[in-house]
């Protein structure tokens, strides 16, 4: 309400300020619009100024408060109208290239307005839609089996073996880790390494360590491992808890599902409406050549992208998204394909290094993409045990099309 009152009062103030500046005698006539300035045969009206003011971002609107600000706003309109009248007098509007640009701009504005008014209301996923997606894809929202791991890092296999023997003899692992472990990340926590996903390719605080990954998956509870070789040195570990695979609650993941599925749903609604309109209007191609080539490429792009979305095999999806990006470098869905490459590496393969490369490429190559915030969120939480709840996030606002 405060914003509406301020805009209304500003429009009135602008009209009064203009009348005072130009002299009351020129504004005595009543008309459909309130004329506040005349430039040749053209006019500036309070209604035009109010409409323009409403389109200004709030942070910029503050510059036009007060008498000086209102005068600058009016001066800007007068300057614009002056240039416009000069362009008309020079016959610019008759130039063929100018007419083509006006025609293009008119089409773009009309199409954009049609999307906003006739399509957008039907492209919003409801709670029921999101719930259906969740129910139909439970495996995609199932948290994998995890093991709580404690470990002690030593610089040589001999030292690690000595520590292992002490543990087998009954030494307290937490206390021993604080005394001798060279792992600066976990030492003060008694060697606690957190929860590790079964068969994870990347282990927190360690990196890629196949020998440790295999040991974590096979060790009985509370049993001391053999000495394990890793890129950081030699570990002795123990699995202290096993959390079985289980679906994540709907309320916890529904906003993630919405962000990921919303763009795909929008594409679906748009494609269905397009086909419906084509049938209603009637479409026929009267010339072969470029039109046919473009249509064939569009069909191929759609096929590859759809196959990538629908495939259940992670390698097939990675290959298809990569093929899509290579064959169709200017396609509107490229940012989605790039995001999904990072998502597959991060969530399915736990390969955080490749996920980081993929998300950074999205941020770098597609800075205008609505998925940039999602990519930045993923980058900030790579390897985290559990992402923060959706309402606490500061970044993600839009999502991708895939699972």
pLDDT digits (tens, 9 = 90+) for 209-256: 999 999 999 999 999 999 999 999 999 999 999 999 888 899 988 999
d(CA 352, CA 335): 19
**Which residues have a Cβ under 8 Å from the Cβ of 244 and sit 6 or more positions away?**
145
Which is more confidently placed, 284 or 34? 34
Q: What percent of the chain has pLDDT over 90?
A: 45
d(CA 87, CA 39): 13
Q: What confidence tier does 386 reach under pLDDT thresholds 50, 70, 90? A: low
Q: What is the mean pLDDT of residues 28-53?
A: 80
Query: DSSP code of 396?
Result: -
Look at residue 128 in the predicted model and tell me its pLDDT.
92
Q: What confidence tier does 28 reach under pLDDT thresholds 50, 70, 90? A: very low
Look at residue 291 in the predicted model and tell me its pLDDT.
56
pLDDT digits (tens, 9 = 90+) for 276-302: 999 999 988 776 555 557 778 888 889
pLDDT digits (tens, 9 = 90+) for 132-151: 999 998 888 888 899 999 99
Question: Quick one: 167 exposed, middle or buried, by C-beta within 10 A (0-12, 13-18, 19+)?
Answer: middle
350: helix, coil or strand?
A: coil
Residue with tokens 């429009």: 11
Which tokens belong to 24? Answer: 């009351």
Least confident range of 18-27, 130-139, 216-225, 362-371: 18-27
Q: Is the pLDDT of residue 4 over 80?
A: no
Q: Is the pLDDT of residue 305 over 50?
A: yes
Which tokens belong to 10? Answer: 């500003």
Look at residue 33 in the predicted model and tell me its pLDDT.
79
Domains in the chain, please, with CATH? 2-94 (no CATH), 125-139+251-392 (1.25.40), 145-244 (3.10.50.40)
Q: What is the residue-averaged pLDDT of the chain?
A: 84
Of 353, 365, 162, 400, nearest to 259 (Cα)?
Answer: 400
Stretch (H or E) spanning 235: strand 233-243
Strand positions, DSSP E, 122-232: 142-143, 146-154, 192-197, 228-230
d(CA 266, CA 129): 13
360: helix, coil or strand?
A: helix
Q: Whole-prediction pTM value?
A: 0.43
Cα–Cα–Cα angle for 391, 392, 395, rounded to 5 degrees: 95
């Amino acid at each position: 309400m405060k914003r509406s009152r301020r805009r209304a009062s500003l429009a009135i103030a602008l009209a009064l300020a203009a009348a005072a500046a130009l002299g009351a005698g020129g504004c005595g006539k009543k008309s459909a619009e309130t004329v506040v300035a005349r430039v040749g045969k053209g006019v500036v009206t309070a209604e035009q100024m109010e409409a323009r003011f409403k389109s200004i971002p709030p942070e910029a609107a503050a510059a036009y408060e007060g008498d000086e600000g209102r005068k600058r706003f009016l001066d800007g309109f007068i300057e614009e109208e002056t240039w416009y009248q000069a362009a008309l007098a020079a016959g610019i509007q008759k130039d063929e290239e100018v007419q083509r640009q006006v025609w293009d701009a008119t089409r773009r504005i009309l199409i954009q307005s049609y999307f906003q008014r006739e399509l957008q209301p039907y492209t919003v996923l409801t709670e029921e839609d999101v719930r259906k997606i969740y129910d139909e894809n439970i495996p995609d929202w199932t948290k994998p089996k995890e093991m709580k791991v404690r470990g002690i890092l030593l610089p040589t296999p001999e030292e690690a073996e000595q520590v292992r023997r002490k543990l087998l003899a009954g030494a307290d692992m937490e206390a021993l880790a604080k005394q001798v472990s060279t792992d600066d990340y976990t030492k003060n926590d008694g060697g606690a390494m957190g929860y590790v996903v079964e068969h994870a390719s990347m282990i927190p605080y360690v990196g890629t360590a196949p020998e440790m990954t295999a040991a974590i998956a096979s060790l009985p509870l509370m049993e001391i491992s053999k000495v394990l070789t890793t890129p950081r040195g030699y570990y002795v570990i123990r699995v202290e808890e096993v959390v079985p695979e289980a679906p994540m609650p709907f309320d916890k993941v529904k906003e993630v599902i919405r962000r990921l599925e919303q763009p795909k749903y929008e594409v679906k609604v748009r494609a269905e409406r397009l086909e419906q309109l084509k049938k209603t209007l009637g479409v026929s191609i009267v010339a072969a050549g470029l039109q046919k080539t473009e249509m064939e490429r569009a069909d191929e792009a759609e096929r590859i992208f759809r196959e990538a979305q629908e495939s259940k095999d992670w390698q097939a999806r990675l290959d298809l998204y990569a093929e899509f990006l290579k064959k169709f470098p200017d396609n509107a869905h490229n940012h989605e394909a790039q995001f999904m490459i990072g998502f597959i590496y991060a969530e399915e393969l736990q390969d955080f290094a490749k996920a980081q490369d993929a998300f950074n490429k999205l941020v770098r190559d597609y800075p205008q993409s609505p998925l940039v915030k999602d990519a930045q969120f993923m980058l900030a939480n790579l390897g985290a045990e559990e992402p923060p709840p959706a309402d606490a996030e500061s970044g993600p606002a839009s999502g991708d099309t895939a699972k």
